[in-house]
Structures are given as C-alpha cells and as structure tokens.
Amino acid sequence: MRPQFFLSILFIFLLIACAKTRIHEHDEFGKIFKEHGINTGCFIVRDHTHDALYFFNKEQCLRRFLPASTFKIFNSLVSLETAVAADDQLVIKWDSVVRRTEWNKDMNMREAFKTSCLPYYQELARRIGKERFQFYLDTTRYGNKNCGGKIDEFWLTDSLKITADEQVGFLKRLYFDELPFAERTQRIVRSLMLREDKPEYKLYYKTGTGVMADSTIYWIVGYAEKIEHIKEHANSMNKSDVRNYPFFFAQNFVLPNSDTSKNWFDERLKIMHEMLQNIQAISK
C-alpha cells in the first residue's frame, strides 16, 4: 500500500472518529492565503486545550515535502543527545567561505539556529554520522525516516520528507517531553525555538525554504503558548496563577522558483501571525 494512500485513509478515519466537534476544515485559512496571492498553501493547527484540530487543504497537509531548515529542530536534538554538542554554546569555526553576511563568522548553536546557518548544521550532521541519524529518525518516526544520499544534505533533497500533519505531531511530543531524547535535550531545543516573548503569549517556531526542481516550498512549524493569569482559590492545588494554553501548527506553501513578486521569506511570517490570530479568536 502506498504511504500517501495509507495517510489519506488514516486521516479519513480520524475525521469520522472525531467528526462531532474535534476536527474542523477551516476555510478562513484559505482566504488568508488567497489574500496574500497563494493558491497552494496548507495550514494545520492543534488546539491542545480544547482537543481540537483545524486545517485547510487536507491533500497538502498530508503530502510529504523535504523539511529544509525546519530539520534544524531535529538536528539540534540529535546533536545534543549524542554529545556531538555538549550544549547550545558549541562553537564551530567559520570555514572562510563567503556566503550570507550573517553566516560569515564563528558561531554557537544558538546563533546558528537563529540565523538558520546551513554550514553549521551541515558540520553537525557530518559529526553525527548516518548510523546515529538513522537510529533517531527510526525511533522518533520522523517523516519517511530516509537519510539516504549525502549526510550533510539529505534534508534538502528528495531523501527525507515529512508532512505538515507529521510536523505538528512531532512538535506536540517535543513540547511535552515525549520524544526519545532526554528532558534536558528537549528543553534546550525548545528554548532555541523561542522567537517572540510577550506578556500575553510566547511564540516558538522554525522556518524552512526548500528548492525543488521547478518550485520552492516555504515552511513554518512551531507552537504558540497563550498566557492567561487566573486567580486561584487559596486552597487550590494549583499554586501558580499563570496558565499556558498551547497551539501546535505547521504551515507551508509552494510557489514557482521564478516567483519574485514578493519577499516570500517575510510574507510567510505575516501569514503565520494572521493564521494564529484567526484560530485564537474562534477557540476562546
């Protein structure tokens, strides 16, 4: 049975099993994509607090694509777990090859994750090696679990692939320390992903841009924590007045390589914010 067919059957089964209120096809996401000039986008978000899933474009949510730089989440986990990186302060020397300005220097993992420095993570991959990568891809059940080809680029080619739906499941497990990595490892990687820290929310994510034969996929995967302050009763077992309500999400869209009508790197961030604002408005 083909993997794509199996995923479609599984998705339909979940829809039937949870049809009452838990899984929703949300057309508002499609309207947001259209307003930004995108016809081939998908967005999927899991509202953990209300045990609800919202999605747009089921077919694309279930289609596997190369993860591109979203794989830096997984790469960081394996690097820390195997002690290839003792912590997020591991410095890798710049190889003196001029690339992007922000990459042309020595840097540690925290800086490399923030700037999405490909050479840094390629060096980590070479130090990890194929055997250890394959072990963790298998035990984590990450996408199609294929690290064939060159060890320092298999997440950039057609070897490793993952769906938006699988990205959401992976992030949910990371959030709750349910991945086959030490709690410390997962905690450090979550901290790498934090990009916005506001009184009312925290936003964690990683972007990714994958160039294919004649098109480019633009990813953002992550989670948002909605923060609320609740005054607890004096005898309550909850000793903190702070409540975090997580939303796990994955967004991708595909455009021709020739499309330079907008700065799509920045545009995807605007779309992500609009999507999350929309879902929080309806999930109150």
Question: Residue 149: what are its φ and ψ, rounded to 5°?
Answer: 85, -160
| Residue located via tokens 């450090």 | 188
Residue burial 57-70, b: 16+ Cβ < 10 Å; e: rest: bbebbbbbbbbbbb
Q: Which residues pair with 202 in a beta bridge?
A: 197, 225
Sign (positive or negative) of CA dihedral 63, 68, 69, 71: positive
Q: Say what the alpha-carbon torsion angle 188, 239, 281, 264 is, to the nearest 10 degrees.
A: -10
What is the Cα–Cα distance from 235 to 255, expressed in whole angstroms? Answer: 56
Assess contact for 251 and 36: CB atoms under 8 A. no
- The catalytic residue positions are 69
Question: Residue 140: what are its φ and ψ, rounded to 5°?
Answer: -85, -20
What is the Cα–Cα distance from 37 to 100, expressed in whole angstroms? Answer: 28
3-state secondary structure of 101: helix
3-state secondary structure of 199: coil
